[in-house]
Chains A and B, each alone.
Chain A
Amino acid sequence: MAETVAIERHRRGNRWTHWINGPVLLVMIWSGLRIYWADLRDPFGVGIGAWHWFDLFPTWFNETFDLERRLARGLAFHLTFGWIFVLNGLAFGVYLIRTGGWRNFVPTAADLRTIPAVLAHDLGLRKEAPPQGKYNGVQQLSYAAVIVMGFLAALSGFAIYKPTQLSFLTAAFGGYEAARFVHFWVTIGFVLFIVVHLLQVFRAGAANLWTMVTGYELLTVEADATDEIEKTDQTDDAHEKVTT
Protein backbone atom coordinates (compact mmCIF):
# COMPACT_ATOMS: atom_id res chain seq x y z
CA MET A 1 0.00 0.00 0.00
CA ALA A 2 1.83 3.11 -1.23
CA GLU A 3 1.03 6.71 -0.38
CA THR A 4 2.39 9.95 -1.79
CA VAL A 5 3.63 12.48 0.73
CA ALA A 6 5.99 15.43 0.65
CA ILE A 7 9.07 15.31 2.79
CA GLU A 8 11.03 18.38 3.93
CA ARG A 9 14.47 18.63 2.38
CA HIS A 10 15.54 22.25 2.84
CA ARG A 11 14.38 24.42 5.68
CA ARG A 12 13.21 27.98 5.23
CA GLY A 13 16.43 29.52 6.63
CA ASN A 14 18.47 27.52 4.16
CA ARG A 15 16.29 28.40 1.16
CA TRP A 16 15.97 32.16 1.79
CA THR A 17 19.67 32.68 2.44
CA HIS A 18 20.49 30.60 -0.64
CA TRP A 19 18.24 32.58 -2.97
CA ILE A 20 19.38 35.93 -1.54
CA ASN A 21 23.01 34.91 -1.76
CA GLY A 22 22.88 33.92 -5.44
CA PRO A 23 22.03 37.29 -6.97
CA VAL A 24 24.02 39.24 -4.35
CA LEU A 25 27.11 37.16 -5.11
CA LEU A 26 26.64 37.87 -8.83
CA VAL A 27 26.48 41.62 -8.08
CA MET A 28 29.65 41.30 -5.99
CA ILE A 29 31.50 39.48 -8.79
CA TRP A 30 30.28 41.94 -11.43
CA SER A 31 31.19 45.02 -9.39
CA GLY A 32 34.40 43.38 -8.21
CA LEU A 33 35.53 42.94 -11.81
CA ARG A 34 35.02 46.66 -12.39
CA ILE A 35 37.36 47.30 -9.49
CA TYR A 36 39.83 44.69 -10.72
CA TRP A 37 39.89 46.20 -14.20
CA ALA A 38 40.63 49.70 -12.86
CA ASP A 39 44.25 48.64 -12.75
CA LEU A 40 44.70 47.35 -16.26
CA ARG A 41 47.92 45.54 -15.58
CA ASP A 42 45.87 42.39 -14.81
CA PRO A 43 47.94 41.82 -11.67
CA PHE A 44 46.74 38.27 -11.03
CA GLY A 45 47.33 36.66 -14.39
CA VAL A 46 48.21 33.00 -14.07
CA GLY A 47 51.82 32.10 -13.48
CA ILE A 48 54.39 31.48 -10.80
CA GLY A 49 56.86 34.19 -9.92
CA ALA A 50 58.46 35.63 -13.03
CA TRP A 51 56.95 32.92 -15.21
CA HIS A 52 53.76 34.39 -16.63
CA TRP A 53 51.50 31.83 -18.24
CA PHE A 54 48.60 33.95 -19.43
CA ASP A 55 46.55 37.04 -18.60
CA LEU A 56 43.13 36.26 -17.20
CA PHE A 57 41.62 39.28 -18.87
CA PRO A 58 43.82 40.20 -21.83
CA THR A 59 43.02 43.38 -23.75
CA TRP A 60 41.17 41.49 -26.46
CA PHE A 61 38.78 40.08 -23.82
CA ASN A 62 37.78 43.54 -22.63
CA GLU A 63 37.54 44.83 -26.19
CA THR A 64 35.53 41.87 -27.49
CA PHE A 65 32.94 42.15 -24.74
CA ASP A 66 33.08 45.96 -24.74
CA LEU A 67 33.53 46.01 -20.99
CA GLU A 68 33.34 49.38 -19.35
CA ARG A 69 35.55 50.10 -16.40
CA ARG A 70 33.62 52.61 -14.29
CA LEU A 71 35.57 52.04 -11.09
CA ALA A 72 33.58 54.54 -8.99
CA ARG A 73 30.32 52.76 -9.79
CA GLY A 74 31.88 49.36 -9.15
CA LEU A 75 33.09 50.49 -5.73
CA ALA A 76 29.71 51.96 -4.83
CA PHE A 77 27.91 48.70 -5.65
CA HIS A 78 30.57 46.49 -4.08
CA LEU A 79 30.72 48.34 -0.76
CA THR A 80 26.94 48.59 -0.42
CA PHE A 81 25.98 45.07 -1.53
CA GLY A 82 28.90 43.69 0.46
CA TRP A 83 26.88 44.27 3.62
CA ILE A 84 23.98 42.23 2.25
CA PHE A 85 26.43 39.42 1.45
CA VAL A 86 27.90 39.60 4.98
CA LEU A 87 24.57 39.86 6.85
CA ASN A 88 23.02 37.10 4.75
CA GLY A 89 26.09 34.95 5.37
CA LEU A 90 25.81 35.55 9.11
CA ALA A 91 22.12 34.61 9.00
CA PHE A 92 23.06 31.37 7.22
CA GLY A 93 25.73 30.71 9.85
CA VAL A 94 23.21 31.18 12.66
CA TYR A 95 20.82 28.86 10.85
CA LEU A 96 23.50 26.17 10.41
CA ILE A 97 24.45 26.30 14.08
CA ARG A 98 20.92 26.45 15.50
CA THR A 99 19.60 23.59 13.41
CA GLY A 100 22.77 21.52 13.47
CA GLY A 101 22.55 21.59 9.68
CA TRP A 102 26.30 22.18 9.46
CA ARG A 103 26.72 18.43 10.03
CA ASN A 104 25.30 17.85 6.56
CA PHE A 105 28.45 19.40 5.12
CA VAL A 106 30.96 17.41 7.16
CA PRO A 107 31.78 14.19 5.33
CA THR A 108 32.39 10.95 7.21
CA ALA A 109 35.18 8.59 6.20
CA ALA A 110 32.53 6.50 4.44
CA ASP A 111 31.37 9.56 2.47
CA LEU A 112 34.94 10.35 1.44
CA ARG A 113 35.49 6.81 0.17
CA THR A 114 32.57 7.18 -2.24
CA ILE A 115 34.04 10.29 -3.89
CA PRO A 116 35.73 8.47 -6.83
CA ALA A 117 32.48 6.58 -7.49
CA VAL A 118 30.44 9.80 -7.31
CA LEU A 119 32.78 11.54 -9.74
CA ALA A 120 32.71 8.53 -12.07
CA HIS A 121 28.92 8.58 -11.96
CA ASP A 122 28.71 12.36 -12.58
CA LEU A 123 31.08 12.06 -15.53
CA GLY A 124 28.99 9.25 -17.02
CA LEU A 125 31.61 6.54 -16.43
CA ARG A 126 29.47 4.61 -13.98
CA LYS A 127 25.77 3.84 -14.09
CA GLU A 128 24.88 3.56 -10.43
CA ALA A 129 25.22 6.47 -8.03
CA PRO A 130 26.71 5.29 -4.75
CA PRO A 131 24.38 5.41 -1.73
CA GLN A 132 24.41 8.70 0.12
CA GLY A 133 22.75 10.77 2.87
CA LYS A 134 21.38 14.24 2.26
CA TYR A 135 24.47 15.07 0.22
CA ASN A 136 27.16 12.86 -1.32
CA GLY A 137 30.83 13.23 -0.46
CA VAL A 138 31.59 15.49 -3.40
CA GLN A 139 28.67 17.75 -2.58
CA GLN A 140 29.71 17.85 1.08
CA LEU A 141 33.25 18.88 0.21
CA SER A 142 32.07 21.43 -2.38
CA TYR A 143 29.50 22.99 -0.07
CA ALA A 144 31.89 23.01 2.90
CA ALA A 145 34.53 24.62 0.67
CA VAL A 146 32.14 27.25 -0.62
CA ILE A 147 31.12 28.17 2.95
CA VAL A 148 34.78 28.55 3.92
CA MET A 149 35.29 30.60 0.75
CA GLY A 150 32.43 32.88 1.79
CA PHE A 151 34.23 33.52 5.07
CA LEU A 152 37.53 34.10 3.28
CA ALA A 153 35.92 36.45 0.75
CA ALA A 154 34.36 38.58 3.48
CA LEU A 155 37.43 38.63 5.72
CA SER A 156 39.90 39.35 2.92
CA GLY A 157 37.44 41.98 1.68
CA PHE A 158 37.54 43.78 5.03
CA ALA A 159 41.35 43.40 5.07
CA ILE A 160 41.53 45.23 1.72
CA TYR A 161 38.81 47.73 2.62
CA LYS A 162 40.34 48.91 5.95
CA PRO A 163 44.03 47.96 5.87
CA THR A 164 44.92 50.65 8.43
CA GLN A 165 41.98 50.50 10.83
CA LEU A 166 41.93 46.68 10.60
CA SER A 167 45.69 46.28 10.08
CA PHE A 168 45.69 43.16 12.31
CA LEU A 169 43.30 41.47 9.87
CA THR A 170 45.34 42.56 6.84
CA ALA A 171 48.47 41.25 8.57
CA ALA A 172 46.72 37.91 9.20
CA PHE A 173 46.40 37.52 5.43
CA GLY A 174 50.09 38.32 5.02
CA GLY A 175 49.63 41.94 3.99
CA TYR A 176 47.58 44.05 1.63
CA GLU A 177 48.73 42.49 -1.63
CA ALA A 178 48.30 38.98 -0.22
CA ALA A 179 44.75 39.84 0.92
CA ARG A 180 43.96 41.06 -2.60
CA PHE A 181 45.40 37.83 -3.99
CA VAL A 182 43.18 35.72 -1.72
CA HIS A 183 40.12 37.86 -2.47
CA PHE A 184 40.69 37.48 -6.20
CA TRP A 185 41.27 33.74 -6.27
CA VAL A 186 38.36 33.02 -3.94
CA THR A 187 36.22 34.88 -6.47
CA ILE A 188 37.55 32.73 -9.30
CA GLY A 189 36.68 29.75 -7.07
CA PHE A 190 33.11 31.06 -6.69
CA VAL A 191 32.80 31.38 -10.45
CA LEU A 192 33.94 27.77 -10.96
CA PHE A 193 31.57 26.60 -8.21
CA ILE A 194 28.64 28.44 -9.79
CA VAL A 195 29.35 26.92 -13.20
CA VAL A 196 29.47 23.36 -11.87
CA HIS A 197 26.53 23.97 -9.52
CA LEU A 198 24.30 25.24 -12.34
CA LEU A 199 25.36 22.36 -14.56
CA GLN A 200 24.49 19.81 -11.87
CA VAL A 201 21.17 21.51 -11.09
CA PHE A 202 20.35 21.39 -14.78
CA ARG A 203 21.17 17.68 -14.88
CA ALA A 204 19.15 16.96 -11.73
CA GLY A 205 16.07 18.46 -13.30
CA ALA A 206 13.24 20.83 -12.52
CA ALA A 207 11.73 18.81 -9.67
CA ASN A 208 14.99 18.94 -7.79
CA LEU A 209 15.27 22.69 -8.39
CA TRP A 210 11.69 23.23 -7.22
CA THR A 211 12.56 21.43 -3.97
CA MET A 212 14.97 24.26 -3.23
CA VAL A 213 12.03 26.68 -3.60
CA THR A 214 9.26 24.84 -1.72
CA GLY A 215 11.57 23.00 0.63
CA TYR A 216 9.66 19.73 0.08
CA GLU A 217 10.14 16.75 -2.18
CA LEU A 218 7.27 14.53 -3.24
CA LEU A 219 7.82 10.88 -2.46
CA THR A 220 5.89 7.64 -2.39
CA VAL A 221 6.13 5.77 0.89
CA GLU A 222 4.85 2.49 2.20
CA ALA A 223 1.91 3.39 4.42
CA ASP A 224 2.93 1.01 7.19
CA ALA A 225 6.64 1.80 7.13
CA THR A 226 6.88 5.40 8.30
CA ASP A 227 10.50 5.18 9.35
CA GLU A 228 11.73 3.51 6.19
CA ILE A 229 11.22 5.95 3.37
CA GLU A 230 12.02 4.69 -0.07
CA LYS A 231 12.89 7.10 -2.76
CA THR A 232 10.69 6.51 -5.78
CA ASP A 233 11.71 6.08 -9.35
CA GLN A 234 12.35 9.24 -11.36
CA THR A 235 9.49 8.38 -13.71
CA ASP A 236 7.07 7.95 -10.83
CA ASP A 237 3.66 9.65 -11.03
CA ALA A 238 4.46 11.89 -8.12
CA HIS A 239 7.47 13.34 -9.89
CA GLU A 240 5.57 13.78 -13.11
CA LYS A 241 3.05 15.80 -11.20
CA VAL A 242 5.69 18.21 -9.90
CA THR A 243 7.56 18.68 -13.09
CA THR A 244 4.59 19.31 -15.34
Chain B
Amino acid sequence: MTGGHRQPADQRERTISQDDYDNLSRRSFLVSGLALAGGVIAWRGIQNRPEIDRIPDVLRGGHSVNERIWRGLHREGAVAPTFDYAESSVLRVNGRHGLDDPLDLNTWELQVFGRNGELLGTHGVDDLRALPQTEMTVEHKCIEGWSHIVTWGGVVFRDFVDRLHPQEADAPYVGMSTPDGVYQVGLERDAMMHSQTMLTLDLQREPLDEEHGAPVRLTTPLKYGTKQIKRIGTITFSDTRPEGDYWAERGYDWFSGL
Protein backbone atom coordinates (compact mmCIF):
# COMPACT_ATOMS: atom_id res chain seq x y z
CA MET B 1 0.00 0.00 0.00
CA THR B 2 1.28 3.40 -0.83
CA GLY B 3 0.70 6.22 1.56
CA GLY B 4 -1.91 8.87 0.99
CA HIS B 5 -4.39 6.55 -0.70
CA ARG B 6 -7.99 6.61 0.32
CA GLN B 7 -9.27 3.38 1.73
CA PRO B 8 -12.70 2.65 0.24
CA ALA B 9 -15.01 0.52 2.36
CA ASP B 10 -14.41 -2.58 0.29
CA GLN B 11 -10.70 -2.17 0.76
CA ARG B 12 -10.76 -2.20 4.54
CA GLU B 13 -8.94 -5.46 4.50
CA ARG B 14 -10.46 -8.55 5.95
CA THR B 15 -7.91 -11.24 6.57
CA ILE B 16 -8.35 -14.93 7.22
CA SER B 17 -5.88 -17.62 8.21
CA GLN B 18 -4.19 -19.83 5.68
CA ASP B 19 -6.24 -22.83 6.86
CA ASP B 20 -9.46 -20.92 6.33
CA TYR B 21 -8.16 -19.83 2.95
CA ASP B 22 -7.43 -23.41 1.95
CA ASN B 23 -11.01 -24.38 2.83
CA LEU B 24 -12.35 -21.37 0.99
CA SER B 25 -10.23 -22.17 -2.03
CA ARG B 26 -11.53 -25.76 -2.14
CA ARG B 27 -15.10 -24.53 -1.81
CA SER B 28 -14.54 -21.95 -4.55
CA PHE B 29 -13.17 -24.66 -6.81
CA LEU B 30 -16.33 -26.70 -6.30
CA VAL B 31 -18.75 -23.77 -6.68
CA SER B 32 -17.04 -22.33 -9.75
CA GLY B 33 -16.85 -25.79 -11.32
CA LEU B 34 -20.57 -26.34 -10.71
CA ALA B 35 -21.43 -22.85 -11.98
CA LEU B 36 -19.37 -23.42 -15.12
CA ALA B 37 -20.98 -26.80 -15.76
CA GLY B 38 -24.42 -25.32 -15.07
CA GLY B 39 -23.77 -22.51 -17.52
CA VAL B 40 -22.62 -24.86 -20.27
CA ILE B 41 -25.58 -27.22 -19.69
CA ALA B 42 -28.05 -24.30 -19.69
CA TRP B 43 -26.56 -22.88 -22.89
CA ARG B 44 -26.68 -26.20 -24.71
CA GLY B 45 -30.10 -26.84 -23.23
CA ILE B 46 -31.53 -23.66 -24.74
CA GLN B 47 -30.23 -24.61 -28.19
CA ASN B 48 -31.79 -28.07 -27.94
CA ARG B 49 -35.20 -27.07 -26.55
CA PRO B 50 -38.22 -27.93 -28.71
CA GLU B 51 -39.10 -25.05 -30.97
CA ILE B 52 -42.30 -23.04 -31.11
CA ASP B 53 -42.60 -21.41 -34.53
CA ARG B 54 -38.92 -21.98 -35.20
CA ILE B 55 -37.56 -20.52 -31.96
CA PRO B 56 -36.57 -22.55 -28.83
CA ASP B 57 -39.55 -22.47 -26.45
CA VAL B 58 -37.61 -20.73 -23.67
CA LEU B 59 -36.82 -17.85 -26.01
CA ARG B 60 -40.51 -17.70 -27.00
CA GLY B 61 -41.01 -17.38 -23.26
CA GLY B 62 -38.57 -14.45 -23.32
CA HIS B 63 -40.62 -12.80 -26.07
CA SER B 64 -43.82 -13.39 -24.03
CA VAL B 65 -42.32 -11.80 -20.92
CA ASN B 66 -41.15 -8.83 -22.97
CA GLU B 67 -44.58 -8.49 -24.58
CA ARG B 68 -46.26 -8.47 -21.15
CA ILE B 69 -43.81 -5.85 -19.88
CA TRP B 70 -44.17 -3.48 -22.81
CA ARG B 71 -47.91 -3.89 -23.27
CA GLY B 72 -48.21 -3.15 -19.56
CA LEU B 73 -46.05 -0.05 -19.94
CA HIS B 74 -47.80 1.13 -23.13
CA ARG B 75 -48.34 4.89 -23.15
CA GLU B 76 -51.07 5.94 -25.53
CA GLY B 77 -49.69 9.47 -25.74
CA ALA B 78 -46.21 8.32 -26.76
CA VAL B 79 -45.71 9.14 -30.41
CA ALA B 80 -42.90 8.54 -32.85
CA PRO B 81 -41.06 11.68 -33.93
CA THR B 82 -42.26 13.24 -37.16
CA PHE B 83 -40.12 14.93 -39.80
CA ASP B 84 -40.42 17.46 -42.61
CA TYR B 85 -41.65 16.20 -45.94
CA ALA B 86 -38.38 17.44 -47.48
CA GLU B 87 -36.45 14.90 -45.40
CA SER B 88 -38.47 11.98 -46.72
CA SER B 89 -38.10 9.85 -49.83
CA VAL B 90 -39.31 6.62 -51.38
CA LEU B 91 -38.15 3.68 -49.30
CA ARG B 92 -36.70 0.48 -50.68
CA VAL B 93 -38.91 -2.52 -51.45
CA ASN B 94 -38.07 -5.28 -49.02
CA GLY B 95 -40.71 -7.96 -49.39
CA ARG B 96 -43.24 -9.21 -51.94
CA HIS B 97 -44.94 -11.93 -49.91
CA GLY B 98 -48.65 -12.11 -50.74
CA LEU B 99 -48.28 -9.91 -53.83
CA ASP B 100 -47.79 -12.67 -56.43
CA ASP B 101 -51.22 -12.42 -58.03
CA PRO B 102 -51.54 -9.52 -60.48
CA LEU B 103 -53.35 -6.63 -58.86
CA ASP B 104 -56.75 -5.84 -60.44
CA LEU B 105 -58.08 -2.63 -58.99
CA ASN B 106 -61.49 -3.28 -60.53
CA THR B 107 -62.08 -6.38 -58.46
CA TRP B 108 -60.08 -5.47 -55.34
CA GLU B 109 -62.11 -4.68 -52.28
CA LEU B 110 -61.39 -4.41 -48.60
CA GLN B 111 -63.51 -6.85 -46.63
CA VAL B 112 -64.12 -6.16 -42.95
CA PHE B 113 -65.20 -8.92 -40.57
CA GLY B 114 -66.55 -8.35 -37.06
CA ARG B 115 -65.80 -10.18 -33.87
CA ASN B 116 -68.79 -12.45 -34.49
CA GLY B 117 -67.23 -13.55 -37.79
CA GLU B 118 -69.82 -11.77 -39.93
CA LEU B 119 -68.87 -9.65 -42.93
CA LEU B 120 -69.50 -6.08 -41.78
CA GLY B 121 -68.91 -4.48 -45.13
CA THR B 122 -66.66 -4.05 -48.13
CA HIS B 123 -64.90 -0.85 -49.09
CA GLY B 124 -63.28 0.37 -52.27
CA VAL B 125 -60.44 2.86 -52.63
CA ASP B 126 -62.96 5.66 -53.20
CA ASP B 127 -64.63 4.87 -49.87
CA LEU B 128 -61.28 5.23 -48.13
CA ARG B 129 -60.47 8.43 -50.03
CA ALA B 130 -63.80 9.86 -48.84
CA LEU B 131 -62.71 9.55 -45.19
CA PRO B 132 -60.55 12.24 -43.51
CA GLN B 133 -57.06 12.06 -45.00
CA THR B 134 -53.92 12.35 -42.90
CA GLU B 135 -50.31 12.81 -43.98
CA MET B 136 -47.47 11.70 -41.76
CA THR B 137 -43.68 11.79 -42.21
CA VAL B 138 -42.11 9.21 -39.94
CA GLU B 139 -39.11 6.93 -39.72
CA HIS B 140 -39.99 3.51 -41.09
CA LYS B 141 -38.02 0.81 -39.25
CA CYS B 142 -37.16 -2.57 -40.68
CA ILE B 143 -36.52 -5.48 -38.30
CA GLU B 144 -33.25 -5.98 -40.24
CA GLY B 145 -31.98 -2.77 -38.70
CA TRP B 146 -32.29 -0.14 -41.40
CA SER B 147 -34.63 2.82 -41.20
CA HIS B 148 -35.94 5.31 -43.72
CA ILE B 149 -37.81 8.59 -43.35
CA VAL B 150 -40.92 8.37 -45.47
CA THR B 151 -44.18 10.29 -45.96
CA TRP B 152 -47.36 8.24 -45.80
CA GLY B 153 -50.86 9.49 -46.66
CA GLY B 154 -54.19 7.88 -45.93
CA VAL B 155 -56.76 7.24 -43.25
CA VAL B 156 -55.85 6.94 -39.58
CA PHE B 157 -57.19 3.51 -38.62
CA ARG B 158 -58.95 4.98 -35.59
CA ASP B 159 -60.87 7.35 -37.91
CA PHE B 160 -61.74 4.44 -40.19
CA VAL B 161 -63.17 2.46 -37.25
CA ASP B 162 -64.98 5.43 -35.71
CA ARG B 163 -66.66 6.34 -39.02
CA LEU B 164 -67.42 2.95 -40.51
CA HIS B 165 -67.27 0.30 -37.78
CA PRO B 166 -67.66 2.01 -34.38
CA GLN B 167 -69.07 -1.16 -32.80
CA GLU B 168 -65.58 -2.71 -33.16
CA ALA B 169 -63.69 0.19 -31.56
CA ASP B 170 -63.00 -1.84 -28.41
CA ALA B 171 -61.96 -5.06 -30.18
CA PRO B 172 -58.76 -6.27 -28.44
CA TYR B 173 -57.12 -7.55 -31.65
CA VAL B 174 -57.14 -6.89 -35.37
CA GLY B 175 -55.99 -9.40 -37.97
CA MET B 176 -55.21 -8.48 -41.57
CA SER B 177 -54.45 -10.53 -44.63
CA THR B 178 -53.51 -10.08 -48.28
CA PRO B 179 -56.29 -11.07 -50.74
CA ASP B 180 -54.52 -14.40 -51.45
CA GLY B 181 -54.17 -15.13 -47.72
CA VAL B 182 -50.40 -15.62 -47.99
CA TYR B 183 -49.30 -12.70 -45.82
CA GLN B 184 -51.06 -12.21 -42.53
CA VAL B 185 -50.45 -10.02 -39.52
CA GLY B 186 -52.08 -9.58 -36.14
CA LEU B 187 -51.87 -6.47 -33.99
CA GLU B 188 -53.18 -5.56 -30.56
CA ARG B 189 -55.69 -2.76 -30.04
CA ASP B 190 -53.18 -0.34 -28.47
CA ALA B 191 -51.14 -0.30 -31.68
CA MET B 192 -54.10 -0.33 -34.09
CA MET B 193 -55.98 2.52 -32.41
CA HIS B 194 -52.85 4.67 -31.99
CA SER B 195 -52.96 8.09 -33.63
CA GLN B 196 -50.09 7.21 -36.02
CA THR B 197 -51.45 3.90 -37.32
CA MET B 198 -52.88 4.31 -40.80
CA LEU B 199 -54.57 2.57 -43.70
CA THR B 200 -52.12 4.08 -46.13
CA LEU B 201 -52.93 4.95 -49.73
CA ASP B 202 -50.09 7.30 -50.64
CA LEU B 203 -46.31 7.19 -50.53
CA GLN B 204 -44.50 10.50 -51.08
CA ARG B 205 -47.87 12.07 -52.05
CA GLU B 206 -48.39 9.60 -54.90
CA PRO B 207 -50.72 6.60 -54.80
CA LEU B 208 -48.86 3.50 -53.63
CA ASP B 209 -47.33 1.46 -56.42
CA GLU B 210 -47.78 -2.28 -56.48
CA GLU B 211 -44.42 -3.04 -54.87
CA HIS B 212 -45.18 -0.81 -51.91
CA GLY B 213 -48.59 -2.33 -51.30
CA ALA B 214 -51.21 -0.77 -53.59
CA PRO B 215 -54.00 -0.02 -53.17
CA VAL B 216 -53.86 0.12 -49.36
CA ARG B 217 -51.34 -1.03 -46.79
CA LEU B 218 -50.89 -0.66 -43.06
CA THR B 219 -48.25 1.74 -41.73
CA THR B 220 -47.43 2.37 -38.09
CA PRO B 221 -44.31 3.55 -36.26
CA LEU B 222 -45.34 1.28 -33.38
CA LYS B 223 -44.22 -1.84 -35.24
CA TYR B 224 -41.45 -2.98 -37.54
CA GLY B 225 -42.14 -3.22 -41.28
CA THR B 226 -42.90 -6.93 -40.85
CA LYS B 227 -46.30 -5.93 -39.40
CA GLN B 228 -47.02 -3.22 -41.97
CA ILE B 229 -48.88 -5.48 -44.37
CA LYS B 230 -49.16 -4.52 -48.04
CA ARG B 231 -52.26 -4.90 -50.27
CA ILE B 232 -54.74 -5.51 -47.46
CA GLY B 233 -57.60 -7.78 -48.53
CA THR B 234 -59.35 -8.48 -45.26
CA ILE B 235 -59.50 -6.86 -41.86
CA THR B 236 -60.86 -9.01 -39.03
CA PHE B 237 -61.61 -7.73 -35.53
CA SER B 238 -61.29 -10.35 -32.82
CA ASP B 239 -61.35 -10.97 -29.11
CA THR B 240 -58.32 -13.23 -29.22
CA ARG B 241 -54.94 -13.09 -30.90
CA PRO B 242 -55.62 -13.64 -34.63
CA GLU B 243 -54.56 -16.93 -36.20
CA GLY B 244 -51.65 -16.55 -38.56
CA ASP B 245 -48.84 -14.04 -38.62
CA TYR B 246 -46.38 -14.46 -41.45
CA TRP B 247 -43.14 -13.57 -39.67
CA ALA B 248 -44.13 -14.73 -36.17
CA GLU B 249 -44.50 -18.19 -37.72
CA ARG B 250 -40.99 -17.84 -39.08
CA GLY B 251 -39.19 -17.26 -35.81
CA TYR B 252 -39.89 -13.59 -35.08
CA ASP B 253 -41.57 -12.04 -32.08
CA TRP B 254 -45.35 -11.74 -32.56
CA PHE B 255 -45.51 -8.44 -30.67
CA SER B 256 -42.57 -6.65 -32.35
CA GLY B 257 -43.61 -3.40 -30.68
CA LEU B 258 -41.49 -0.28 -31.01
Which residues in A have some Cβ–Cβ distance to B below 8 Å? Answer: 4-8, 11, 14, 19, 23, 35-36, 38-39, 41, 43, 71-73, 75-77, 79-80, 83, 99-104, 108, 110, 131-134, 161-167, 170-171, 175-177, 180, 210, 213-216, 218, 221, 228-229, 238, 242
Contacts and interface: CB of A to CB of B under 8 A. Distances in A.
B11 interface: yes
Contacts of B70: 162, 165
A103 B14 contact: no
B20 A6 contact: yes
Given A76-B63, A103-B6, A165-B73, A216 B16 contact: yes
Contacts of B144: 38-39, 71
B42 to A, nearest CB: 10
A73 B142 CA distance: 16
Nearest to B26: A214
B24 A6 contact: yes
A165 B255 CA distance: 14
B2 to A, nearest CB: 4
A165 B16 contact: no
B45 interface: no
Nearest to B139: A176
A162 B257 contact: yes
B221 A39 contact: no
Contact of A43 (B20, B141, B145): B145
Contacts of B143: 38, 71, 75
Contacts of A229: 1, 13
Contacts of A221: 15
Nearest to A166: B78
B28 A134 contact: no
Interface string B192-227: 000010000000000000000000000001100000
Given A73-B55, A79-B63, A99 B250 contact: no
A177 B10 contact: no
Contact of A11 (B10, B247, B253): B10
Nearest to B221: A164
B252 interface: yes
B107 interface: no
| Interface size classification for chain B | 35 or more
A167 B80 contact: yes
Contacts of B5: 108, 133
Given A39-B142, A164-B222, 7 more contacts: A79-B253, A99-B8, A162-B70, A165-B75, A165-B257, A166-B78, A218-B21
Contacts of A79: 62-63, 66, 253
Contacts of B58: 80
Given A11-B10, A75-B252, A164 B78 contact: yes
A228 B1 CA distance: 8
Contact of A218 (B18, B39, B75, B258): B18
B12 to A, nearest CB: 9
A133 B25 contact: no
A8 B8 CA distance: 13
Closest 10 CB pairs of A and B: A80-B62, A72-B251, A6-B21, A76-B59, A100-B9, A103-B8, A38-B144, A131-B2, A101-B10, A39-B145
B238 to A, nearest CB: 24
Contact of A8 (B15, B63, B145, B250): B15
11 contacts: A4-B18, A7-B15, A41-B146, A79-B66, A99-B10, A100-B9, A100-B10, A161-B258, A213-B29, A215-B24, A238-B18
Contacts of A23: 39
A85 to B, nearest CB: 13
B78 A167 contact: yes
A176 B10 contact: no
B134 interface: no
A242 to B, nearest CB: 7
Interface string B39-76: 10000000000000011101111110110001001110
